[in-house]
Amino acid sequence: MNKMLILPMLLGAALAFADPAARPLPATQAARDQLKAGVLSPVMAAPEIRLQGTDGQPIDLARYKGKVVLLAFGFSNCGEVCPITLATLAGARKKLGTEAAYVQVVYVTVDPERDTAAQMKKYLASFDPTFIGGVGTRAEIDAAQKKYGISSSKNTNPDGSYTIGHSSSIYMIDRAGGLRAVMPYGHPVDDFVHDLRILLRS
């Protein structure tokens, strides 16, 4: 079966088990090494995306081999969910200290009509200057969303302005380029630090 067809199903299964309360573990080293995110098994190569990066270079996941990549989708005019996600990821990198050099956040816009590279770069830098945004044409963004099972919908207000509802999980890609886990929205900084330290050791 085509991997792109089964990815959304795997992500759904992973999210179903993402709540630690749903899968209690004994207080052992094995338990401490259990990811708090929803684990994808078997691990598959993270789907490649072809977008322009806010650092002036094409987004190519192969560029980040040797680092753990946190891949998420959002937009710069987001009022609540995106700022919380980005602040959480920035907090996790800060808490990692020197290990943060081996963690790369890639944040792909779902609003290419408004999010230029300059706009996204400025927005992301307000959280962490190392964050890289992914921008492109509507067709390019749609293709990236499809590969990761991301849904989004435009909601227009009476005055003509609009906002966008979108999937808000964070995809965790290991140092070898494997899509290892999906962290649902709302997890605290410490959960990301815990999982990142595990992935950085692997």
Q: For residue 194, how far is the Cα from the chain centroid?
A: 16
CATH of domain 3-15+37-201: 3.40.30.10
Q: What is the pLDDT of residue 160?
A: 86
The whole-model pTM stands at 0.84
Cβ–Cβ < 8 Å for 114, 76: yes
Q: φ, ψ for residue 200 (rounded to 5)?
A: -70, -25
Q: Strands 162-166 and 178-183, how do they pair?
A: unpaired
- The pLDDT of residue 93 is 98
Where the chain has pLDDT below 50, the residues are: 1-6, 9-10, 12-27
Checking phi first, is residue 116 left (phi over 0); if not, alpha (psi -120 to 50) or beta?
A: beta
Find how far residue 45's CA is from the centre of its chain.
15
Q: Where exactly are the structural domains of the chain?
A: 3-15+37-201
pLDDT of residue 202: 83
At 9 the pLDDT is 47
pLDDT, residue 25, reads 43
Neighbours of 146 (CB within 10 A): 14
Gyration radius (Cα) of the chain, Å: 16
* Residue 190 identity (one-letter amino acid): D
Those residues whose C-beta lies under 8 Å from the C-beta of residue 144, and which sit 6 or more positions away, are 49, 50, 51, 73, 108, 134, 136, 150
For residues 107 and 54, give the distance between their C-alpha atoms in angstroms, rounded to a whole number: 10
Q: Which residues contact 164 (CB under 8 A, 6 or more apart)?
A: 75, 78, 110, 111, 152, 153, 154, 155
Which pLDDT score is estimated for 32? Answer: 63
User: What 3-state DSSP class applies to 104?
Assistant: strand
